[in-house]
Amino acid sequence: MFNRETTPRRRRDRVRSTLYALAGPAVRSSWELYKSLGAIGPNSAAGRRFGSLGEGSIVCFPYDTIMNEGSIHIGARTMISGHVALSAGWGPGHQGISDRIVVIGDRCLIGRGSSIVGHLSVEIGDDVWTGHNVHITDMNHGYEDVTLPISVQNQPEAPVIIGSGSWLGHNTVVLPGVRIGRHVVVGAGSVVTSDLPDFSVAVGAPARVIRRYDAADSTWKASGPHAVTAATTLPTSRPATV
């Protein structure tokens, strides 16, 4: 039986399909163009506002807050992914702050949606990669004075150092005063509240070392009271960052 609604509906569906077929590529092409034009490179006017931005590096668009970039230094061939916040000092135009507060080395990758907030010193070595939504800060809020909102209480800043060749998994948080060594794996969702040694694997909140590299026999061995994983032998050839 003929349905009078069938033909109009089919026409609408055809029109919609045609619109998607024509407009979809145009929208995607435009967005890629916007991202390309909005990205910050070392030779752009925005790039020259940084304390330094190395050759081949890029701050991808769209980015989040970028504050007091004159105190932010980024090495060569480093990618700052989209929606990342880079912040130095307490507010825009903060006077009298150090000219080297946030320092990111060469060949780093800062994952999408991450934030690096420095008031005193955040130093990230070479070849450090992070997952998405990683938060690194050298300051935190206090809570001791119950007559004041926590939002207006601040603990003393403490420098953060992340060693070369390390990897921080998705949603990792690195808190003030922490030193993460070289070639360290920090598992996804970890909260780093204390130092982590070179050549180690740490997980949890707070992060605890579960495996360390033993140079004597070139193996990674389980570490800590809850470690049960057997040692594994490293390949003969290791990255130069080890």
CATH code, 200 = 2.160.10.10
Instruction: Judge if 185 and 151 occupy the same domain.
Output: yes
What is the model's pLDDT at position 6?
A: 62
Per-residue pLDDT, averaged over 147-175, amounts to 96
The number of domains in the chain is: 2
Cis peptide before 206 (omega within 30 of 0): yes
Instruction: Judge if 76 and 186 occupy the same domain.
Output: yes
Which of 198, 200, 203, 159 lies closest to 182 in space, CA to CA?
198
Model confidence at 177, pLDDT cuts 50, 70, 90, reads very high
- Which tokens sit at 125? 């070595």
User: What is the secondary structure of 109-159 as a DSSP string?
Assistant: EEPTT-EEEESS-EEE-TT-EE-TT-EEES--B----TTS-GGG-BPPP--
User: Which sequence positions are flagged as catalytic?
Assistant: 141
pLDDT: which is higher, 35 or 38: 38
Residue 73, in any domain of the structure: yes
pLDDT tens for residues 81-125?
A: 999 999 999 888 888 899 999 999 999 999 999 999 999 999 999
Instruction: Judge if 54 and 93 occupy the same domain.
Output: yes
pLDDT at residue 4 greater than cutoff 70: no
What is the model's pLDDT at position 224?
A: 73
pLDDT tens for residues 190-239?
A: 999 999 999 999 999 999 999 999 999 999 999 876 554 444 443 333 33
State the residue range of the domain holding 157. Answer: 39-233
Residue 240, in any domain of the structure: no
Instruction: Judge if 119 and 8 occupy the same domain.
Output: no
What is the model's pLDDT at position 226?
A: 54
- Which tokens sit at 142? 């206090």
Instruction: Judge if 20 and 59 occupy the same domain.
Output: no
Instruction: Judge if 33 and 64 occupy the same domain.
Output: no
Instruction: Judge if 100 and 181 occupy the same domain.
Output: yes
Instruction: Judge if 159 and 137 occupy the same domain.
Output: yes
Residue 163, in any domain of the structure: yes
Long-range contacts of range 179-186, CB-CB < 8 Å, 24 or more positions apart? 182/125, 182/241, 183/213, 183/241, 183/242
What is the model's pLDDT at position 233?
A: 41
In this prediction the pTM is: 0.83
Tell me the pLDDT of the chain averaged across its residues: 89
What is the model's pLDDT at position 186?
A: 98
Instruction: Judge if 62 and 182 occupy the same domain.
Output: yes
CA angle 71, 73, 74 (to 5 degrees): 155
Instruction: Judge if 64 and 178 occupy the same domain.
Output: yes
Residue 239, in any domain of the structure: no
What is the model's pLDDT at position 166?
A: 98
Residue 242, in any domain of the structure: no
Instruction: Judge if 30 and 52 occupy the same domain.
Output: no
